[in-house]
Structure 1
Amino acid sequence: MGTFSISSGLRGDNLRMVGKLAVVAALMFGFGYALVPMYKAICTALGINVLSLSERQPGASTANGQNSQIDYSRSISIEFDANARGPWAFKPAVNTLNVHPGELTTVMYEFRNTQDRVMSAQAIPSYAPKQATAHFNKLECFCFNEYTLQPGEVKQWPVVFVVDPKLPRDVKTITLSYTFFEVPGKNVKQGQAPKLEAEPRT
């Protein structure tokens, strides 16, 4: 009789323990299930989940995915011209590019000293038509800087520019022209070691 009472008591304790564990498991499952909507609600209230908020607004992601400073409604043809006043090679990497006003663009220019002597030279830009000059903004350019090149040396320089969206709409083509000429009185005889100038960033 005593053994039966002990066994019944242990079985009752086990059942109560199993019941408690079942309740704890159910609460944990419910908490985990509710965690996602709770997180979204908290982030929405605090303004943390900005990406989700923008995705809920129709057309917001499309509008925010484009640079509002770029005028995609029109294209401008940019022609690149290079003139070398002397026995050396000077050319752009491309002759023509179509860009949107407000779009950041980079074009490389190459200069090669084809002579057997050291030389110093610099470039001066010009624009056509003249009315485009005020709307052609160069963020980086090699113009107006003097360079010293060894015999056969090749250098490449970038031109980084943006066409102002305020450019008159009747202007469809802009020509950027560079004239590279040797600096008078700066010739260095072969065999001498001139001081090379650092690449400029304007």
Structure 2
Amino acid sequence: MLAAERLVILDRDGVINRDSEAYVKSLAEWIPYPTAIEAIARLSCAGWNVAVATNQSGIARGYYDMQALEAMHDRLRELVQKADGEIAYIAYCPHGPDDGCQCRKPEPGLLEEIRQGLSLNSLEGSWLVGDSLRDLQAAEAMRCRPVLVRTGKGRRTEQKGEGLDSAMIFDDLSSFVDWLLAQESSY
């Protein structure tokens, strides 16, 4: 069984790859940040489990289909594996914002799916890294430690200042991983 305190959950668009106001609709549009794949691999190599929790309402809106989403996730896994890392679990919500589902962040359903998929008793103590208030709210609902990155929508989220009281803020995923691994080595 995995330990929740050795789990980092990542939002996808805006944290791992470039986001787009027009949605990331295809493998060609899925462009990882240069340091994000390496950061995930460093976490994995240091004994951390990495999961992804991503809202993908573009499916409900008809902008792309499940095959396109799976191609993006397959590419993510492939790049991380080439860097000697591993993604333990990917959870996604295909619903639109008005569908009333329990999985679309800030609802906790995606995180609950990760908890069950990784056979954890709880997610308390795990980290959730996102670029939006929805990510931070989902983290708090499941007692994860919230982290905001300034990539994607992160700078706008930070400027609004709402819901940031308990969140740590970093420039990007790589700077968070630098900090987290440095904390470990100082023990």
Band of TM-score, shorter chain:
under 0.3
- Using structure 1 for the length normalisation, give the TM-score: 0.22
User: Which structure has more RCO (C-alpha within 8 Å, separation ≥ 6)?
Assistant: 2
Question: In proportion to residue count, which structure has more helix?
Answer: 2
Asked which structure has the greater CA Rg, the reply is 1
Question: In proportion to residue count, which structure has more strand?
Answer: 1
- Using structure 2 for the length normalisation, give the TM-score: 0.23
